[in-house]
Amino acid sequence: MFKTSRWLLASVLSLALFGCRSLSPEEDLREASNLLKPRIGFAPGWGTSSFEDPWNHPLTLTEAVRVAVRNHPEIRMDLARVARRRADLVQAGLLPNPVVSLGFGIPVDSGGGTPASHGVIQQLAALWNRPVKIAAAQADLRATVLNLCESTVALAATVGSTMAALHHGRNQLSLSSREVQLLTKRVELLLDRERAGEATRLEINAARVDLARAREREVDDQESLAVDRRRMLERLGSKRFAFEIEAFDFSTLPSLEDGIPLETDLLELVATQRLDVVAAFTALDGDDARTRLASWFRSSGIGAGVGYNRNFEDRDAVVPTVQLTPPLFDLGRAATAKAEAIERRSQAEADRILNQAVLEVRVAHVALTQATERRLRVDSDLLLPLRENHRLAAQTYEVGEETLSEVLRNEAQLLEAERRHESAALASRIAYFELVRAAGGSLQPIEEREER
């Protein structure tokens, strides 16, 4: 008897304590911060006091990501989803409120008496359904936290790519403007030589075509840079209407000289390091719990209670009550079949996300490898010969064996090659950020990075 009473007391206390579980998602956001720190370089610290955008000095890449993570609407939406799942978890641990009935009789004949009927009924099925509901809610909450982290990693990669586009776009525009100035000067020199009978119309027209193409490239570079500036504002979730290009410290972008890991090594990270993959398989635990809950449908309509009755003769009675919902028409088969179908779909969706993650790693690895090779070819096959030609042309011009027009033409060609170098370097950096995102936030195992 004492052991039974102690068990009942422990059960009641556990129900009460779970019902007092906090609705604040602070614990979940702390878990998300711990997952993100080795992936984006800092703990976001959601839920802290007000946050000011540090625009009073050039933003490093980490600071730009920090601004985006704290401000971007999509991240704020994911934070709200975490809070919602936290509320679902607390709700899953609560028992349904009891049903209380009150009734009083009013005699309509000449007899006397004051009949009354009162009762309270509590659904009992919630007691054995509760652990399964809690398990499903915990899985949903865990998956939501993981998806929040994955969205944050993706946003960090996007901020990095956009910052790289600003850096190389600024360099390309500077090179285009210098090229236009050089070719304009060359056309003017050729016109002067034409008047002196030393240049042909063929040379002048060819120079004008080169100048027109350079001006088109300059306009394209201006447009690209203007678009990237506005994209960066959207990435940062900033309310600013504009910013100076000097607002960023581009020296904090990753080096282009880092080696590229093997594709097979990166594929081993996908199943454990890609948080959307982990979230998809975690969500399966919730669907499995809901399938078990649906299979218990027939026991969901059981309740017990106690009632009090007083009849017209003023006699009192205590009436124990049992409430049953017999499965006469709805046997729960449809609900079970639906839950099983949802679980199969979730399994297929998890497999699809895993396959997509593997494909993204492979494609990003190919893109980074090809972009790196292209950049190295531009440096060796274009930049080196053109720099030598420019140096030699300048030397021959000094001794009078070369015209200034040819020197300017060689310099313009060198500037065009440097533009191609900037374009190839941008492609390499964008491919790098995409590969980091596809691999789950790091090109190395997260555990090894945390230990060092």
* Partner residues linked to 321 by β-bridges: 305
pLDDT at residue number 297:
61
In the structure encoding, which two tokens stand for residue 375, read together? 């950049």
Closest CA to 287 of 277, 295, 276, 298: 295
Which pLDDT value is given to residue 320? 85
Considering the domain boundaries, does residue 8 fall inside one?
no
Give pLDDT tens digits along the chain (452 positions).
444 444 444 444 454 445 557 888 889 999 999 999 999 999 998 865 445 555 667 888 998 999 899 889 999 999 999 999 999 999 999 888 888 888 777 776 666 666 778 888 888 778 888 898 999 999 999 999 999 999 999 999 999 999 999 999 999 999 889 889 888 988 888 888 888 887 788 888 988 998 999 899 999 999 999 999 888 888 888 766 556 667 788 889 988 888 889 999 999 889 889 999 999 999 999 999 888 888 876 566 778 888 878 776 677 888 888 877 777 777 778 888 988 899 999 999 999 999 999 999 999 999 999 999 999 998 888 888 888 887 888 777 777 766 777 777 788 888 888 888 999 999 999 999 999 999 999 998 886 444 33
- Residue 138, in any domain of the structure: yes
68 and 161 Cβ atoms separated by less than 8 Å: no
CA distance 169 to 227: 10
Q: CA 354 to CA 247: how far, in whole Å?
A: 38
Number of H helices, E strands in the chain: 12, 4
265: containing domain = 15-451
CATH number of the domain that residue 96 is part of:
1.20.1600.10
Specify the pairing of strand 302-310 against strand 316-324: antiparallel
| Residue 270 located in a structural domain | yes
End-to-end CA distance of the chain: 57
Nearest to 61 by CA among 174, 162, 171: 162
Q: Locate 129 and state its tokens.
A: 């359904």
pTM of the predicted structure, to 2 decimals: 0.83
pLDDT value at position 182?
85
Residue 373 lies in a domain: yes
- Is 160 part of any domain? yes
Contact 274, 441 (CB under 8 A): no
Residue 181 lies in a domain: yes
In a domain, 10, yes or no: no
Asked if 369 and 260 count as a contact pair (C-beta separation under 8 A), the reply is: yes
**Is residue 64 domain-resident?**
yes
Instruction: Please count the structural domains in the chain.
Output: 1
